[in-house]
Structure 1
Amino acid sequence: MKKKILLFFFVIIAIIISVNFLFNTKRDFSEKCGLNIYRFEQDFFSINPDSFDLFFRDLKEQYSFFFNDTTLDFKYDVLLDDTLNMILDSVQSEFQDRLPSVEKIETGFCNYKKYFPLDSFSIYTYIEGTFDYRYPVVFADQKLFISLDLFLGENHIFYNTFPEYIKFSHDSTYLPATCFITLAGRHIPPPRLNNFLSSILYYAKAYFFAQHMLDDIPDSHLFKCSEEKITWCKNNEKIIWEYMIENDYLFSSSPDLVERFISLAPFSKFGLDIDRNSPGSVGVWLGLQILNSYANQNDVSFNDVLNETDYTKILNKSGYKP
């Protein structure tokens, strides 16, 4: 039963993909450009157990997509669950009054509305209890779902079993970047080719997107690593680029390159003594430099960059020469 309870909020990730319900009650309305923020975990766990049946009916209508599991008794299996309430206490101690970095998220929302005036999204916060670090933020049906129990800080006891580089990224400092990198996926078409160049530029587009949404965001926030690792990239940019060229990696389709230079990792894998000084995903960082060079050197709009799928063209017209 305990495992089943903890899995309750985890199934949200699967359930929300099919959400078709919008409701009118607004938990928190940001005056800046009209961003709606709904604190589901606060609304649900604030129900008085003695009046649960009375208030749960209305809450279920408002947040219908959180209650599709008909096998659970939501009062006894969820509301009164000790583990979930312990998680809630930690979340409340950090984020009771406002979301972390909410001003930056609001600024990002305003920029988003400028680039995509016909689109919008709302934010829903929740807790889930399984600490699946792959999904701190999920986007579905014009909604960003934020698992606040994954932004409590790298030293939180909940993350004791995480690898060190994963712990580092679970700080509220990285919430704005995580939101907009996640949101970017709906605006980026898949690449035409399955080679290393296409991969690094395709994944870099999400970071390019977040750069334009979040004014002056540092690379260390985008890539969730220390400033020292970003400085290492900048100081060694030419060496990294020459390494990729000399080893004929750009047009290679070897899946090994994804693991070495794109996937989430504590560091990139050049097979050299310098590896541990590098951040993971150094290939994506390199791709971001190429995209920025392409955007600066050509008469192209932000959306043009996102929609261009000829990645050889981007490289050739970028004039990228570190």
Structure 2
Amino acid sequence: MKIIKYFLLFFLFIGCSKKSDEQNKNKKWEVDISGIGANVELIDISQDFYNFQIPISEFRKKYPFYIDANLPDEKAEQQRKDTTEINIYNQIKHKINNQKIKQELTTMFRYIKFYYPEFKEPKVYLYSSFVQDYLDPITYVPNQNYLFIAVDCFLGYGNKYYDMMRIDRYLQISMSPEYLSSKVAKVIINEKSWIPKELTTQSFVSHMIYQGKILLLEDAFLPKVKDLYKIGYTQDQINWAKSNEFEIWNFFIQNNYVFSDDFSLSDRFLSLSPFSKFYTEVDAKSPGQIGCWVGWQICRKYFEENPKVSLQDFIKNSNHEEIFAKSKYKPEQLPE
């Protein structure tokens, strides 16, 4: 009995250690936002679209951007009475918590304002795209300060409508509500252009760090969100990346990829895909975008080595090879 208790305590300790490791990395970003306000206006377009008491003519006046101006009212009426579309909307009502979305976005916008005070929270529109916008479910329009979220693209992995649309399962991983705020953060980061796109070099490590900066900003904007949701992995994929970090980096070193300007490396290791392309037997086990994950760890290591550098100054620094050198990134081999 004592032996069983010992092993239970041992595995509990290991589990807590893994959890605390991630918590410690994000603890740096848990700043005081109590004095920062954010008033999020959230509007559910689909609620009105599928309300047959509202004529299409009135709906168009309220949402002139939603229905194609060349589409006759009769066709629009037919569309919103489509059985499949109505069933998808019913799933939205069952699986999507609008109040939770509002709370998550409000908190995130407050964190963004802490680092970028000029940021103004956008007006948020929720809608159903008939699962057509699954590749780009978030649209941010900075000039009008609008944010559009296709909530039908967050109904959960294995949803029957996703399979009906033949959406690849690796894409479905991030099509759950837990990934929503992270996808919003990514789109805002890309549209605001806080990260300089003109890099001093076009090396593979520079591009990895560029992607790592996006994820590091997600750390800052979403400090309480788990890593797997930020990068769009499953927990098993996160575990694989952590367990094989030394081997991944050693592979890049041995093949002289780190400072290479071969653009095909971006397709192999940075692009959204079902797996990364090492061209070895490990491919089947690896998650896609492993280079983004490595770039993220380099950025995190940089802040461990240079704690006095501000987030804004780090993000603005376009000399990514200098960042790499100062990070002293060199993952250790885990004991077998």
Scaled to the shorter chain, the TM-score interval is: 0.7 to 0.9
1:126 to partner: Cα distance: 0.8
1:264 to partner: Cα distance: 1.0
Shift in alpha-carbon separation, 1:77–1:171, aligned structure 2, 3 A: same
Report what 1:292 is aligned to: 300
Report what 1:85 is aligned to: 86
Count of aligned pairs: 286
Q: Quick check: 1:100–1:175 contact (8 Å CA) kept in 2?
A: no
Provide the C-alpha distance between the structure 2 equivalents of 1:118 and 1:162, rounded to a whole number of angstroms: 38
| Mapping for residues 231-270 of structure 1, pairs under 5 Å | 231-270=239-278
Q: Quick check: 1:262–1:283 contact (8 Å CA) kept in 2?
A: yes
Q: Quick check: 1:191–1:202 contact (8 Å CA) kept in 2?
A: no
Unaligned runs of 5+ in 2: 1-35, 332-336
Shift in alpha-carbon separation, 1:67–1:131, aligned structure 2, 3 A: closer
Pick one of 213, 217, 226 that aligns with 2:221. 213
Partner of 1:34, secondary structure, is coil
| Mapping for residues 190-205 of structure 1, pairs under 5 Å | 190-192=197-199, 193-205=201-213
Report what 1:144 is aligned to: 147
State TM-score, norm by structure 1. Answer: 0.81
1:130 to partner: Cα distance: 4.7
Encode CA deviations 1:254-304: one digit per residue, 9 max, x unaligned: 232122111111221212222222211010000001111222322321112
Report what 1:107 is aligned to: 107
Report what 2:291 is aligned to: 283
Provide the C-alpha distance between the structure 1 equivalents of 2:68 and 2:291, rounded to a whole number of angstroms: 40
1:172 to partner: Cα distance: 0.9
Counterpart of 2:111, as a letter, is N
Q: Quick check: 2:134–2:153 contact (8 Å CA) kept in 1?
A: yes
Report what 1:188 is aligned to: 195
Q: Quick check: 1:139–1:182 contact (8 Å CA) kept in 2?
A: yes
Provide the C-alpha distance between the structure 2 equivalents of 1:182 and 1:309, rounded to a whole number of angstroms: 20
Provide the C-alpha distance between the structure 2 equivalents of 1:313 and 1:122, rounded to a whole number of angstroms: 39
Encode CA deviations 1:152-203: one digit per residue, 9 max, x unaligned: 0112111111222112221111111111111111222213233312211112
Q: Which has the larger radius of gyration?
A: 2
Encode CA deviations 1:126-165: one digit per residue, 9 max, x unaligned: 1112534210112112222110110001121111112221
Provide the C-alpha distance between the structure 1 equivalents of 2:69 and 2:303, rounded to a whole number of angstroms: 47
1:101 to partner: Cα distance: 4.9
Unaligned runs of 5+ in 1: 1-30
RMSD: 2.2
Question: Does 2:325 correspond to 1:316?
Answer: yes
Shift in alpha-carbon separation, 1:32–1:79, aligned structure 2, 3 A: farther
Partner of 2:103, secondary structure, is helix
Provide the C-alpha distance between the structure 1 equivalents of 2:196 and 2:125, rounded to a whole number of angstroms: 26
Shift in alpha-carbon separation, 1:293–1:129, aligned structure 2, 3 A: same
Shift in alpha-carbon separation, 1:243–1:191, aligned structure 2, 3 A: farther
Provide the C-alpha distance between the structure 2 equivalents of 1:100 and 1:163, rounded to a whole number of angstroms: 27
Counterpart of 1:151, as a letter, is F
Counterpart of 1:104, as a letter, is E
1:32 to partner: Cα distance: 6.5
Report what 1:43 is aligned to: 48
Q: Quick check: 1:137–1:179 contact (8 Å CA) kept in 2?
A: yes
Partner of 1:66, secondary structure, is coil
Encode CA deviations 1:75-107: one digit per residue, 9 max, x unaligned: 424333334323222212222x52555433322
Q: Quick check: 2:212–2:298 contact (8 Å CA) kept in 1?
A: no
Counterpart of 1:302, as a letter, is L
Shift in alpha-carbon separation, 1:156–1:130, aligned structure 2, 3 A: closer
Partner of 2:314, secondary structure, is helix
Provide the C-alpha distance between the structure 1 equivalents of 2:242 and 2:289, rounded to a whole number of angstroms: 14
Shift in alpha-carbon separation, 1:304–1:128, aligned structure 2, 3 A: same
Report % sequence identity: 28
- Which deviates the most, 295-304 or 171-180? 295-304
Q: Quick check: 1:52–1:75 contact (8 Å CA) kept in 2?
A: no
Partner of 1:274, secondary structure, is helix
Provide the C-alpha distance between the structure 2 equivalents of 1:173 and 1:300, rounded to a whole number of angstroms: 31
Shift in alpha-carbon separation, 1:226–1:34, aligned structure 2, 3 A: same
- Which deviates the most, 102-111 or 162-171? 102-111
Q: Quick check: 1:94–1:152 contact (8 Å CA) kept in 2?
A: yes
Provide the C-alpha distance between the structure 1 equivalents of 2:100 and 2:72, rounded to a whole number of angstroms: 31
